[in-house]
Amino acid sequence: MKLEIVLITGMSGSGKSVALHALEDAGYYCVDNLPPELLLSFIKLEQTRDAKKVAIAMDVRSATSLPLVPQQLEALRKHGVNIKSLFLDAATDTLVRRYSETRRKHPLSRSEMTDQQHALVEAIELERELLADLREQAHVIDTSIIRSSQLQGYIKSLVAAPEAQLTLVFESFAFKRGIPVDADYVFDVRMLPNPHYEPDLRALTGRDEPVAAFLRQSRDVAQMFSHIDQFLSHWLDLLARDHRSYVTVAIGCTGGQHRSVYLVEQLATAFSKRWVTLKRHRELDARGGVEPPSGGATVF
């Protein structure tokens, strides 16, 4: 069995520690804040120990040496190491709120600035610039408005996906709670017939047969499915040839409960015949416990 590495990078305060805990539960040997200069020698050491699954977290505390990482990952892949690179992101206002709640200091904060709010925003935007290259080459997970348990579930499903040229992630969401920043493609389906206005369907979801039957009757719903299907079918082969590991397709309606959920379910079923396919329902998944505040749950 080849050595499998999961590299976790991302914004400070976006939930990297939560992700590492999820990977540890999944049987990975986890190392936090490994300096990039030590990456190759560390992997070589783990190979001599016959390690199978390793998770490594890197962040902006190693800013000066982060540019080394893309070339190091390419070298490891050429030597047969399986690498999954995940980047955790969140909206700036969410990160500001999380730091305000925990009273932690951002690693790039400048202590000489008197306006701490401005200093924090400035540090976050600088961090985005420093991590831009790593973000570009990784699968992005938006943690802005998800709970820790949701993030753990997302991480475990991604690393459990079989090795493939491309993994397709379908995600339903509510526009009223914001567009996921991790989406590669976003489709707005708010113009479709809304089961919310049917009393017998209001409390159900797009995964329930009565809602599905209601939506199947609509020509507009069928046409929307057809258009998304045709668009993705045309471009996925090109994306795979471009060495993309993940593509996230977000389907949004008003409440993230009926129309977007139904279409995600249908699209995931259709595309699973050819691609490794995962499903997420951002708003439904959040119902596993207390609904998080609009700014997002703390996932430090």
Determine contact, residues 144/181, Cβ cutoff 8 Å.
yes
* Ligand-binding site membership of 285 (annotated): no
Q: Quote the Cα angle for 205-209-211, to 5°.
A: 50
- Edge-first strand order for the sheet with 185-188 is 185-188, 246-253, 167-174, 276-281
Of 69, 81, 91, 211, the residue nearest 143 (C-alpha)? 91
Residue 272 labelled as part of a binding site: no
111 is in an annotated binding site: no
Length of the chain: 300
Query: 17 among the known binding-site residues?
Result: yes
Burial of 34 (0-12, 13-18, 19+ CB in 10 A): middle
Ligand-binding site membership of 60 (annotated): yes
- Is residue 65 annotated as involved in ligand binding? no
Q: Name the CA radius of gyration of the chain, rounded.
A: 20
Show Cβ contacts of residue 56 under 8 Å, excluding neighbours closer than 6 positions: 5, 6, 7, 8, 30, 31, 34, 39, 42
229 known member of a binding site: no
Confirm whether residue 109 is marked as ligand binding. no
Q: Helix 39-48 to helix 69-78 angle, to the nearest 10 degrees?
A: 30
Distance CA 9, CA 16 (A): 7
16 annotated ligand-binding residue: yes
Instruction: State the DSSP string of 155-171.
Output: HHHHHHSPP-S-EEEEE
59 is in an annotated binding site: yes
Binding residues: 10-17, 59-62
Binding residues for GTP: 59-62
Binding residues for ATP: 10-17
